[in-house]
Structure 1
Amino acid sequence: MSNMPVTDTIAHALMQLVDDSNNAGAYREPSHADIEFHVNLAGLAQYDPKQQGQLIGKAKRVRAVLYTTMDSNQAAASRFATGLLAKVRACGGFREASPNFVGREAIENAKAAFDMEGFVLADDGSLSPKVLTSLRGIELTDALAAYARRAQKGADDAALIAGTGKDLIEATAAHVLETLQGHYPTSSNFQALLGMAFIALELAVPEIPEQPGEPPVKALERGLFLSALGVNRVRNKQGTGHGRPWLPTLSDEETRAAIEIVGTVSAYLLAKLARRERRGSRN
């Protein structure tokens, strides 16, 4: 599983998976040497306190590496976390009969942490993105919000819904209409679908002219709409689901901006949907 999300909660969960300090003095793999191997494989040796001469336990070592890098170098932090999880799984960390079993509480905590980010951690330690097409209601809202948070941080794979090739904004717009109106037109193009979602949420779109005395935020909403259309135009429609999901002519900074816009627009729509639902529950 590549592109594992790394957040505060996930870093803490992974730290628990390697922590044997409360194991009644019994040693448990992975070893410090195993951790060092995956740190170096991810190119993060300079952030490893043990390799800088500090005496430190395995859990604190993992936490230090992840907390130092998850914001500045999410891709490398993800590579390290992915390798570490694979090692825990390979040495029997998820098998109760194994001497390296990490414990049910640590596994359940890790499951909950990944669930919050739109991923499923199975009992055997395998990790996969949630199949969002199987979710409905608040579960889908939460999963889309997790993708949006990751896209806002520049996570390339978060901009497309895993396994479907569907744009995150498109999926969010469809969810908005499904929630508020009970259905959405499956044959509509991206612009039409997004426009219907904006209007359903009472947001401004460029096709509706500015009204006298309207709040300044309406200009922001029109800008978000146009930005979403721009992002859709630079999508690699032939490459969704496999390979680079953006046109090869885009520079790294342009790609990152596009991903972050996907996250921002999706997060805004979901926040407005949540407000509508809260308002409806009070009436």
Structure 2
Amino acid sequence: MVNKLPLNDEIAVAFSRTVDDSQNSSYRKPSHADLGDRIQRYNLQKGDPKLNGQKATIGKAKRIDAVLSWALEYNTEAGERFIYSLLSLIRASGGFREDSRNFIGREVIYNLQNSLRSEGVALEVDGTVTTLVLENLTDIELEKALENYVRRAKRGASDAALLTGTSKDLLEAVAAHVVTRLAGKYEQSNFPTLLGYAFYLVGFSTPDVKGDSQETARFEISMYELGCAVNNLRNKQGTGHGRPFLPMVTDQDAKAAIESMGVISEFLLVKLKSKL
């Protein structure tokens, strides 16, 4: 996680509540001016109702909700960096201290924790964030987290290529999850073997084993081979932080590889659900 947090509709709503004065009897920071500074810093002005002719009396919660809704549609990357900065601002203002006049409230914190957890992020009660170790999640929690990583990978988000908190990349984590759910245990093996076993368990074809459907065998084998090719581009010295691919891989190729990783992972997860 590098100066940004994942953003989706649920997280957007949860963040808008962190600046909602209406739930308190008195005004609290951050101010509209503070919010405006950060909105402009991350070039989100087009989504800001206060800068686009709407009522000057619009509340902070509605303002942030509008900005994040715009970011989700037009500039998710900027929105993710904005909410990371907003969280830091709220924390610095005492928003996570119960003895502070700027305390945002236990329920608001709880809702924000839940919305971030589904994206693999742990929010502590003091406002600090860490990444969840995915291996410690229940099967249902892990599956939901993987689906969210898949969604981000299909968008080309680089932080979804290697799952922070685990040494596995997204496709490897998904393959291991499939094997664990269908075979009862996951034993460490090389990536082609692991992916091939996951494909076999859900009934897909690989170069060595034909699956249930001969009509789609060529397509399934192509997906398997693409997964192995993407894995070969990985920076095997990485630990989940920094650039996930080898230095000679261009940004354009890396983005295509990440999106491919997301597509193949989704391909496996959807088939897994039909098997359970």
Shift of 1:98: 1.4
After TM superposition, the runs of 4+ consecutive aligned structure 1 residues lying more than 4 A away are none
CA distance in 1, matches of 2:30, 2:263: 38
Shift of 1:8: 0.6
- Corresponding residue of 1:67: 69
Q: How many residues align?
A: 273
C-alpha spacing 1:242/1:109, structure 2 compared with 1 (3 Å) = closer
- Corresponding residue of 2:244: 245
C-alpha spacing 1:140/1:148, structure 2 compared with 1 (3 Å) = same
Task: Give the SS at the match of 2:102.
Answer: coil
Task: Give the SS at the match of 1:4.
Answer: coil
8 A Cα contact 2:96 2:127, kept in partner: yes
Shift of 1:194: 0.2
C-alpha spacing 1:22/1:164, structure 2 compared with 1 (3 Å) = closer
Letter in 2 for 1:162: T
- Corresponding residue of 2:141: 139
| TM-score normalised per structure 2 | 0.90
CA distance in 2, matches of 1:230, 1:71: 31
- Corresponding residue of 1:28: 28
Given the alignment of the two structures, is residue 126 of structure 1 paired with residue 128 of structure 2, yes or no?
A: yes
- Corresponding residue of 2:47: 47
Letter in 2 for 1:4: L
| TM-score normalised per structure 1 | 0.88
Q: Residue 88 of structure 1 is aligned with which of 79, 90, 103?
A: 90
- Corresponding residue of 1:259: 258
8 A Cα contact 2:164 2:241, kept in partner: no
> What are the equivalent positions in structure 2 for 1:1-283 lying under 5 Å apart?
2-24=3-25, 26-54=26-54, 55=56, 56-186=58-188, 188-208=189-209, 214-216=214-216, 218-277=217-276
Shift of 1:210: 8.3
Shift of 1:160: 0.8
What root-mean-square deviation, in Å, do the aligned CA atoms of Structure 1 and Structure 2 show? 2.1
- Corresponding residue of 1:280: none
Letter in 1 for 2:199: F
Shift of 1:238: 2.9
Once the two structures are superposed, residues 59-101 of structure 1 have per-residue CA deviations (whole angstroms, 9 ceiling, x without a partner) of: 1211121111224322211110100011112212122221111
- Corresponding residue of 1:281: none
Task: Give the SS at the match of 1:238.
Answer: coil
Shift of 1:275: 2.1
Task: Give the SS at the match of 2:64.
Answer: helix
Task: Give the SS at the match of 1:33.
Answer: helix
Letter in 2 for 1:35: L
Task: Give the SS at the match of 1:133.
Answer: helix
C-alpha spacing 1:272/1:210, structure 2 compared with 1 (3 Å) = closer
Task: Give the SS at the match of 2:221.
Answer: helix
Letter in 2 for 1:88: I
8 A Cα contact 1:3 1:157, kept in partner: no
8 A Cα contact 2:4 2:83, kept in partner: no
Shift of 1:147: 1.6
**Identity of aligned pairs, percent?**
47
Once the two structures are superposed, residues 225-268 of structure 1 have per-residue CA deviations (whole angstroms, 9 ceiling, x without a partner) of: 12211211222223443321123333333222211111221222
Structure 2 residue runs of 5 or longer lacking an equivalent are none
CA distance in 2, matches of 1:182, 1:40: 51
- Which deviates more from structure 2 when the two are superposed, residues 129-138 or residues 109-118? 129-138
Structure 1 residue runs of 5 or longer lacking an equivalent are 278-283
Letter in 1 for 2:42: A
Once the two structures are superposed, residues 124-170 of structure 1 have per-residue CA deviations (whole angstroms, 9 ceiling, x without a partner) of: 12222211122342222222222222212222111112133311111
C-alpha spacing 1:219/1:20, structure 2 compared with 1 (3 Å) = farther
